[in-house]
Structure 1
C-alpha cells in the first residue's frame, strides 16, 4: 500500500486507468491484491508511516481524513500542513519522524506551529514510532468524539 501511495504521490494516476489496465492483463500475479488495494490509495501520504497511520484509522472505522491538509489563520496566513486532518472537527494527526528530533530548525517550526494550532482550536494527535496503534486510535477517536463526531 505504501508503494502505491508513493507512486500516486510522485506520478498521480486515475484508479480507473489502472483498473482498465488490469482487465487487459488478466491472470497476472498480484492482480487480486491490486484490486482490493486500489480503493485505498491516497497520493497524499508522504511516507510509509503516514500510509500506516491512515490505514490504521480506516481499519478502526474512523472517518477518512484529508491528507496534507493546510491550516491557515483567519486572515489566510499559512500555519502548517498537517499529515492528515478531519477539518470539520479540527482534529489532525501527524507522524513525527526522526527529523523532528534531530533538526533544531524543524523542532522550532513545530513548536511555533503547534502554538498557533492550539490558538486556532485544533487538536493534533502526534504519533511516534514507539506508539502502539490501539493507543493512537483511542486518542484520535476521543478527540473526534469530543468535537462532535458521532462515531
Structure 2
C-alpha cells in the first residue's frame, strides 16, 4: 500500500521544519510556496491576511516573540487592518527584517496573553499601543475596532494610561479613549461620529435599536439621539449598488419615518468631501425635533 501523502500546511509554516518532517521536499518548497519572511512560507497564491502575517512574524522569531500592535490586534480578531502594513512583534535584541516592525517594550505580566497558542499583548495593552500613534482619527478608529472585536472597555485602556504616565503619545491616547465607542461597525462610521462630535453633535448612542408601537423590532440605526428620534446612517457602496440592499434600505427608511424618526444618510463622498453637509443636515433635523442644538 502506498504511503498516504502528508497534508501541506495551509497557513504560514517554518520551511525547514516542514522539510524535516517530510511534509514537503526542498523542490516543492521552492516551487510551490512563497516566502513570507525568511524560512516562513505559505502555499503559492495564498492570500496573506494580517492575522497570517502575525503568525508568520512569530514563527520568524523562532516562536520567541510576543505579537504586538496591529499583529496583536489581528490575533484578537480586529477588522479593518491594512494588509500592506508590516507585522509587529515585541522582541528585544532581534535583527531587523523587511516587513516586520520590531518593538522592545518592557511588558508587564498582565499585559501579555496567549491567543490561539501565540503570545500577544492583551487587548488593553494593544489599544494602549495603537492609541498613542500619531493621528487621532486613526487611533480612534482602531480603538473602536478593537473594542468591537473584544470585550475591551475604555476603563481597561485608561488603567494602562494611568500606569504609564508620561509615555510618548499619552495625551492623544487619553483623548482617543474619550472619543472611542465600541458600537462603530466600520471606520466610516467612526469618521462620521467624529465629524459630528467635533461640531458639538456627539450622538447619544450607537447601534440604536428601533421598535414599533407593538414592541416589534424594526431595525438598527448606526448612531443617533433616541430622545429626539434623529438618526445618522452611513451607507457603504453596497447600499447604492446592490438592488436588494437598496430595496431593504428604502423599506426600512419608510418604517423609521412612520415612527417619527428623522434619518440623515451619509455617503462616502459626503464623508470625504462635504462634511459640512452632514453637520448641517443633522443639526437641522435635531432642531426640527426640538433639540437644543
TM class by shorter chain equals: over 0.9
Aligned to 1:42: 181
Instruction: Give the superposition deviation at 1:62.
Output: 1.6
How large is the RMSD of aligned CA atoms in angstroms? 1.4
SS at structure 2 position matched to 1:43: coil
SS at structure 1 position matched to 2:263: strand
Structure 1, unaligned stretches of length 5 or more? none
Question: Using the alignment, how far apart are the partners of 1:5 and 1:45 within structure 2?
Answer: 6
For residue 133 of structure 1, the aligned residue among 255, 260, 275 is 275
- Confirm or deny that 1:123 pairs with 2:262: yes
Aligned to 2:285: 143
**Cα shift readout 1:21-71 (whole Å, capped 9, x = no counterpart):** 233334544322111211111000111111111111111112433100011
For residue 69 of structure 1, the aligned residue among 195, 208, 217 is 208
Q: Which has the higher contact order (CA 8 A, sep 6+)?
A: 1
Structure 2, unaligned stretches of length 5 or more? 1-139
Say whether the 8 Å CA contact 2:194–2:202 is kept in structure 1: no
Say whether the 8 Å CA contact 1:9–1:43 is kept in structure 2: yes
Question: Using the alignment, how far apart are the partners of 1:43 and 1:11 within structure 2?
Answer: 9
**Cα shift readout 1:67-108 (whole Å, capped 9, x = no counterpart):** 000111111112110001211111100000011122222111
SS at structure 1 position matched to 2:200: coil
Question: Using the alignment, how far apart are the partners of 1:73 and 1:10 within structure 2?
Answer: 30
SS at structure 1 position matched to 2:264: strand
Aligned to 1:84: 223
Say whether the 8 Å CA contact 2:210–2:218 is kept in structure 1: yes
**Cα shift readout 1:103-150 (whole Å, capped 9, x = no counterpart):** 222111111111111111111000101111111100000000011112
Give 1 or 2: higher helix fraction. Answer: 1
**How many residues are treated as equivalent by the alignment?**
151
Say whether the 8 Å CA contact 2:224–2:232 is kept in structure 1: yes
- Confirm or deny that 1:58 pairs with 2:197: yes
**Superposition TM-score, scaled by structure 2 size:** 0.49
Question: Using the alignment, how far apart are the partners of 1:57 and 1:7 within structure 2?
Answer: 22
**Superposition TM-score, scaled by structure 1 size:** 0.93
Instruction: Compare CA radii of gyration and give the structure with the larger one.
Output: 2
